[in-house]
Amino acid sequence: MFQLVAKIELRLWHPFFISSVTISETSFTLTYEDKLQTTVNTPIPFDGVGLHSGAAVRLVIRPAGADHGIVFRRVDCASEVGDIPGMWDHVLQSPLCTKLENAQGIQVSTVEHVMAALMGCGVHNALVTVDGPEAPILDGSSVEFVRGILSCGLRQLDRPVRALRVLAPVEVRRGDAVARLTPHNELTIEFDIDFADTAIGVQKKTLNMANGSFVRELASSRTFCRKSDVDAMRANGLALGGTLENAVVVDGADVLSPGGLRHQDEAVRHKMLDALGDLALAGAPILGHYHGSRAGHALTNDLLRLLFATPDSFEWMICDADVAARLPGAGVHWGELPRVA
């Protein structure tokens, strides 16, 4: 007796991707030590207001199939024009948030906190619907997105996850701000900031993004700003949805937000959260060391643009179990989600 075992070549969706894996057609059991892609189990709704518009908005993280990636959909726009890929090459650079735009000019703003939550929880595929131009700010951190994702749970899909491995350093600068990626076995994020307001001052932190550290260490850290910046933004019709509850507002040595800080170094932790969300726009988990010094959303996007313009600086790889254990989302535990108001 012969047992015919046909082999199927799986090629993933990215044009740079050249590796392949083989599965048995008879069982569709993957024949290697793999890590499969994931999506959320069920739609997860979030209701809030846009930080800058102040308008009510509903965002829903919905299940999606393998190789779909993260895609935003403006459900208040015509269906044929409303999809916006959550990818680095769709970023419309903006100083205050990460804004995406598709070829039809449809935009969605402030995507970095939900992108960080998806990457930090190991969600590779999702359709994120929004009924307005700006994602809800919620409490100014990623913790509500993370709570929703973890309470809903993930399911595995039938394709292996791939990662982007940094092979050579890339660096971008704007004035005294620097963002850099260098080769490393895990995604580590290093960040330092230096603010004149002594309530923030000089802060520096480095974390490995595997072992559940995003959920435990970063997810609850809120966006922050100086009172003088809030006054200027309001004068320009921005930050209309900002409150002392959904942003940490500082004025010199004083923290104006009631309840104070969630961490003594909450500001640099939030910058690391933002960096993870902006790096997630690479379209896959990154294996490399990111260092941001006074960097912002636009500079991290510059870094991804330079990375993808420098083919020798990275490679795509299929993740085996060893690599998968070193990705963001590995080791996430519900019990480590910080309790916040």
In the set 90, 124, 291, 297, the catalytic residue is: 297
CA dihedral 145→128→132→14, nearest 10 degrees, is 120
Smallest separation, CB 61 to Zn ion (Å): 18
Q: Smallest distance from the beta carbon of 267 to Zn ion, in angstroms? A: 11
What's the rounded Cα separation, in Å, for the pair 261 and 237?
27
**Considering the complex, what minimum distance in angstroms separates the CB of residue 270 from Zn ion?**
6
* CB of 145 or CB of 314, closer to Zn ion: 145
Nearer to Zn ion, 188 or 223 (CB): 223
Annotation marks residue 124 as catalytic: no
The tokens for 329 are: 């989302």
φ/ψ bin of 231: left (φ > 0), alpha (ψ from -120 to 50), beta (otherwise): alpha
**Residue from the set 144, 186, 217, 274 that interacts with Zn ion by CB under 5 A:** 274
Nearest distance from residue 224's CB to Zn ion, in Å? 9
* Alpha carbon distance 169, 290 (integer Å): 10
Using CB under 5 A as the binding rule, whether residue 265 contacts Zn ion is answered as no
Determine if 110 is a binding residue for Zn ion (CB under 5 A): no
Q: How far apart are the first and last CA of the chain?
A: 65
| Of residues 124 and 297, the one with the C-beta less far from Zn ion | 297
Residue placing its CB nearer to Zn ion in the complex, 117 or 126: 117
Q: How many residues bind Zn ion (CB under 5 A)?
A: 2
Quick one: 109 or 188, whose CB is closer to Zn ion? Answer: 109
Instruction: Tell which positions 314-333 bind Zn ion, by CB under 5 A.
Output: none
223 binds Zn ion (CB under 5 A): yes
d(CA 90, CA 282): 11
| From 72-80, 124-132, 271-279, 316-324, span contacting Zn ion (CB under 5 A) | 271-279
Of 219-227, 244-252, 253-261, 318-326, the segment contacting Zn ion by CB under 5 A is 219-227
- Between CA 101 and CA 105, with CA 102 as vertex, the angle to 5 degrees is 75
Least distance to Zn ion from the beta carbon of 312, Å?
Answer: 32
The residue range among 130-138, 190-198, 274-282, 315-323 that interacts with Zn ion, by the rule CB under 5 A, is 274-282
Which residues sit at the interface with Zn ion, rule CB under 5 A? Answer: 223, 274
Q: Return the active site residues.
A: 297
